[in-house]
Amino acid sequence: MNVAKLAYKPVGLLLGSLSGVVAGGLFRAVWKRVGRHGDAPDARGRQRRWKEVLIAAALQAVLFAAVKAAADRAGARVVRKLTGASAD
């Protein structure tokens, strides 16, 4: 295992945790603006329609993936600057 990969482990864990928190907050904020109800629908709840549940799930997935990719990219860049080597 090279130095960059070893250095990236703690950075990746920290950024992964933070990105989950950020993505969750972003999803809640976006859903409050675009959803008809204040909170996102629960997939097991009977009071919301399939369409609304699936749209919320797709939006959540897109936001989580985008935030995770941004965090991974930023973490790799930091490690590259600190070690001079790529973490891939």
How far is residue 50's CA from residue 22's CA, in Å, rounded to a whole number?
Answer: 26
List the one residue out of 1, 26, 9 whose CA is nearest residue 78: 9
pTM for the complete prediction? Answer: 0.79
> What distance in Å separates the CA atoms of residue 65 and residue 47, rounded to the nearest whole number?
28
pLDDT, tens digit, 9 for 90 and up, residues 24-76? 999 999 999 988 888 888 888 888 899 999 999 999 999 999 999 999 888 88
